Amino acid sequence: MIRLKNNCFDEEGVGDSMNYGLGIDAGGTYTDAVIVREDDGEVIDSTKSPTTYPDPLPGIQNALDSLDPSYLNNVSNISDSTNN
């Protein structure tokens, strides 16, 4: 199970009226994560961390922990992909 550090879903978010999308790509070498503002597609935050094998979840967790947690409680859509 993925858990967001600092219980960020309980924190007051930045721009409470905004909705954000979260994209995660667990690739062969790196796991990328990005927060995008849904109304205009602007990238708000992004990060890259090493993909972990054989279990990709720690790499995904590391990427999520590197994102600005103040936006995560306003995420309304999540997209993920992997090449494995």
Structure tokens, 53: 């094998």
| Rounded CA separation 38/49 (Å) | 24
| The pLDDT value given to residue 73 | 87
| The pLDDT value given to residue 12 | 44
> Angle 26-29-30 (CA atoms, 0-180°, nearest 5)?
50
| The pLDDT value given to residue 82 | 77
Would you give the DSSP letter of residue 8? Answer: G
Give the pLDDT confidence of 19-63 residue by residue, as tens digits: 999 999 999 999 999 999 999 999 999 999 999 999 999 999 999
Structure tokens, 50: 């090493």
Q: Using DSSP, state whether 66 is helix, strand or coil.
A: helix
Q: Is the predicted pLDDT of residue 1 greater than 60, yes or no?
A: no
Would you give the DSSP letter of residue 6? Answer: G
Question: Model pTM?
Answer: 0.77
